[in-house]
Copies of this chain bind each other. A is one copy, B any other.
Amino acid sequence: MEQPFTSVWTREPRPAKSPGLGRDQIVRTAMALLDAEGVDALSMRRLGARLGSGATSIYWHVASKDELLELVMDEVFGEVSLPDPGAAGWRGTALAVAYGLRNALFAHPWAASLIGTRPAIGPNAVRLAARMLDAFERAGFREAQLDYASAALLSFVLGATAPEVAWQTALRRSEATEEEVLRATREMVAQVARDHPGLVARHKAYDAKDIGAERALSFDFGLSCLLDGLEARLAAPDGAPRQTGTSSPAGQARSDMM
């Protein structure tokens, strides 16, 4: 669309000395609307109505809806509270970021569907990344590994949380009881996986348990596994302590795209 690859963050915001509409008020109202009614309910006209102004007035302060979404996205990143990297230690900071981000995404489910969509380079996202890099550097990570390690953590958190949130909101939107959902899901799995007998048995085992708690445990498990793996790299700085890992398997090209 735009040729020199611009983003909200490069362009100056409107002077903002104004008495009426302002960029931050727009963003706040948009977040409220998103939180209250979900991502589908956010239209410029509805937002304008909530602001008590015309729909197209918004375009004076914000270039496009996409840009507005970038702004609210960064607001979500701003909501994770960061500990002092010196006091919390490496693992503490990592855990805080992980759970903070996870909780922020649960608090704003619409953000989960946007997170893979556009690059997160707003000031709050950058500050979060900087904090994490700081903590990881204190821990002893150097050079490229520093970036790799923090990227890995963020990747896991996002990849684990986004589908969870998707599930949760999908359930919430259909007003079925959790009972019904469980039954329907089991039927689905049974129907679709009848030639994978292990699956249906295992899925049956879930019936008794609380799904939310189970998912939290799963998150904990994956997170501490990843952190353990990272910690192991601190001992052997430039190699994979358990070998393999850097050789691509069975005819799969690694970095064939781009």
> How far, in whole Å, are A7 and B174 apart by their CA atoms in the complex?
11
Q: Closest approach, in angstroms, between the C-beta of A110 and any C-beta of chain B? A: 11
Q: Closest approach, in angstroms, between the C-beta of A197 and any C-beta of chain B? A: 9
Which of B129, B192, B223 contacts A121, CB < 8 Å? B192
- Which B residues are in CB contact (< 8 Å) with A157? 159
Do the beta carbons of A103 and B258 come within 8 Å of each other? no
Q: Closest approach, in angstroms, between the C-beta of A150 and any C-beta of chain B? A: 10
> How far, in whole Å, are A163 and B120 apart by their CA atoms in the complex?
9
Do the beta carbons of A187 and B10 come within 8 Å of each other? yes
User: Interface of chain A, helix or strand or loop or mixed?
Assistant: helix
Do the beta carbons of B196 and A145 come within 8 Å of each other? no
Do the beta carbons of A88 and B250 come within 8 Å of each other? yes
Which of B9, B83, B103 contacts A192, CB < 8 Å? B9
Stretch at the interface among A19-27, A47-55, A211-219: A211-219
> How far, in whole Å, are A199 and B166 apart by their CA atoms in the complex?
33
Q: Report the interface size class on chain A.
A: 35 or more
A221 CB-CB contact with B under 8 Å: yes
> How far, in whole Å, are A236 and B188 apart by their CA atoms in the complex?
35
Do the beta carbons of A160 and B171 come within 8 Å of each other? no
Q: Which residues of A, 116-169, contact B by the 8 Å Cβ criterion? A: 116-123, 126-127, 129-130, 133-134, 137, 144-149, 151-152, 154-160, 162-163, 165-168
Do the beta carbons of B168 and A257 come within 8 Å of each other? yes
Task: Report A's interface with B, CB cutoff 8 A.
Answer: 1-7, 9-10, 83, 88, 91-92, 95-96, 99-100, 103, 106-107, 112-113, 115-123, 126-127, 129-130, 133-134, 137, 144-149, 151-152, 154-160, 162-163, 165-168, 170-171, 173-176, 180-181, 184-185, 187-189, 191-193, 196, 198-199, 202, 211-218, 220-233, 240-242, 244-246, 248-250, 252-258
Which of B107, B126, B256 contacts A257, CB < 8 Å? B107
> How far, in whole Å, are A130 and B91 apart by their CA atoms in the complex?
33
Which of B7, B134, B184, B226 contacts A6, CB < 8 Å? B184
Do the beta carbons of A245 and B229 come within 8 Å of each other? no
Q: Closest approach, in angstroms, between the C-beta of A164 and any C-beta of chain B? A: 9
- Which B residues are in CB contact (< 8 Å) with A2? 174
Contact A218-B176, Cβ < 8 Å, known A192-B126, A241-B228, A249-B96: no
30 contacts between A and B (CB under 8 A): A1-B173, A3-B174, A5-B174, A9-B188, A88-B249, A112-B116, A113-B116, A117-B166, A118-B166, A119-B166, A121-B185, A126-B189, A126-B192, A129-B199, A130-B196, A130-B199, A144-B218, A146-B202, A147-B218, A148-B221, A148-B222, A149-B221, A149-B225, A159-B159, A168-B258, A220-B254, A224-B229, A226-B229, A227-B242, A228-B245
